Chain A
Amino acid sequence: MPDAVTDVEVGCYVYGVVLADADLPTLTGIDGAEVEYVERDGIAAAVGEIAIDRPPGRRKDLLAHSEVVDALVKAGPVVPVQFGSVLADRDSVVHDLLEVDHDYFAGLLEDVRGRVQLNLRASYVEEQVLAEVVQEHPEIAELRERTRDLPSGTMHPDLVRLGEMVSKVMEQRRREDADVVLDVVRPLIVAEADRAGGGIDHLLEVALLVEEDRVRELEDKLEELAEAVHERIRLRLTGPVAPYDFVGGGGGWA
């Protein structure tokens, strides 16, 4: 790395950790900085120079980060590092990151080798499932009859009660339905990690770690399931992406 311009403080932005002997690509990352590889004992961090006093992360930074990781994952296993992680310099990357956690990284890289992450979201067809709830619970139907002509947005106790009852029933239903979806998926995956989800139509949001050569099979199974349930449930599968949810990070959404 050439000497940094001295009057701008620069740091070392970290994208991820990879195997040093992979065929590592030439990439450009955040702020157009070249991606470099800092190596130690068989593992390497993909880093880029970054000005410390730059404005906070913007959307293009997020996209740039994502593109670098996507490119790395094509070359071999990657432990993606959380967006926005900056260390002081290359020395710090070697000593505070690669050396300290060498075995941990080596283990993770082995764990994710040949595997990809897919994100599965199941959502209810809202009106369909709400209709079921009303139909199956006379007390909800009755309460609904009584409250349906109240102006929307009023905090009438009956409305709150109706909402509470509906959300509880949905919650129960969600647990059961999520299990059914997961039962279909589980034989085909290596690991799963819950992702936060919400909204009235939320059913399940989960990251799946899958052997690359089973992705097709997983897609086929999910297609069958999606067809069978499509009148009340939608399934959406994204990826493959780098194993962001399987490297021991993430503070969750809360």
Chain B
Amino acid sequence: MTVQTQRRGGGGYLERPAPSGLADVIEIILDKGLVIDAYVRVSLVGIEILTIDARIVIASVDTYLRFAEATNRLDLYEKGGKDLTEAIGDLQEGGASKKTSGALKGAKKAVKGAVSGDDDDKGSSRSRSRKRQSADA
């Protein structure tokens, strides 16, 4: 695992946008803040135009179809050259049998300063060359 040091000041992996546009402002303030009791309020300036509900996931057929579609769309990426096994191999910390969050748990360790170096099994060459940088670097 490559352990890199500080990348502060814009080149980092943590996206750190300054809230500026309307979308950011909506996200930050809409429906937030102290709610004044309705009986003392004169009126609420309408905010209907700004409702954005696309972010709510509702367990519904529609949602399931979206997941299915996204899953089936995957072959595009594979055909694009990404070796699935290899990609997964990268993620499994030392071939941990844990099915989920192997990478995250590994990351947590790294964050805590205990980087484990035992990339033992999976035997495959581990290409790390296709890592994606955040676009706004």
**Residues of chain A having any CB pair with chain B under 8 Å:** 11-14, 16-17, 50, 52, 54, 56-59, 61-63, 65-66, 69, 79-88, 92, 96-97, 108, 119, 125-128, 130-136, 140, 144, 147-148, 150, 152-153, 155, 159-164, 166-167, 170, 172-173, 176-177, 180-181, 183-184, 196-200, 202, 219-239, 241, 244-245, 247-254
Contact = CB atoms under 8 A, between A and B. Distances in A.
A167 B25 CA distance: 30
A135 B15 contact: no
Contacts of A221: 111
Contacts of B106: 228
B72 to A, nearest CB: 5
B42 to A, nearest CB: 5
A166 B63 CA distance: 11
Contacts of A223: 6-8, 12-14
Nearest to A53: B43
Contact of B103 (A163, A202, A231): A231
15 contacts: A54-B45, A56-B47, A66-B28, A69-B29, A130-B74, A159-B65, A160-B61, A160-B65, A219-B14, A223-B6, A225-B111, A228-B106, A230-B131, A231-B87, A239-B28
A227 B4 contact: yes
Contacts of B99: 136
B114 interface: no
A80 B14 contact: no
A131 B74 contact: yes
Interface in B8-25: 8, 12-19, 22, 24-25
Contact of B31 (A82, A150, A166): A82
Contacts of A79: 34
Given A97-B40, A130-B70, A132-B88, A219 B16 contact: yes
B51 to A, nearest CB: 9
Given A85-B36, A231-B103, A200 B29 contact: no
Contacts of B46: 56-57, 84
A127 B74 contact: yes
In order of increasing CB-CB distance, the 10 nearest A-B pairs are: A56-B46, A163-B64, A163-B68, A228-B107, A244-B32, A226-B13, A57-B45, A163-B67, A96-B40, A198-B57
B12 A183 contact: no
A250 B35 contact: yes
Contacts of A12: 42
A172 B111 CA distance: 23
Contacts, number: 294
Contacts of A11: 42-43
B48 A56 contact: yes
Contact of B71 (A162, A224, A236): A162
A122 to B, nearest CB: 10
A180 B101 contact: yes
A128 B87 CA distance: 8
A170 B70 CA distance: 12
B103 A198 contact: no
Contacts of A200: 66-67, 70
Contact of A230 (B8, B13, B35): B13
A249 B64 CA distance: 32
Contacts of A13: 45
B122 interface: no
Given A83-B29, A226-B13, A144 B71 contact: yes
Contacts of B43: 11, 52, 86
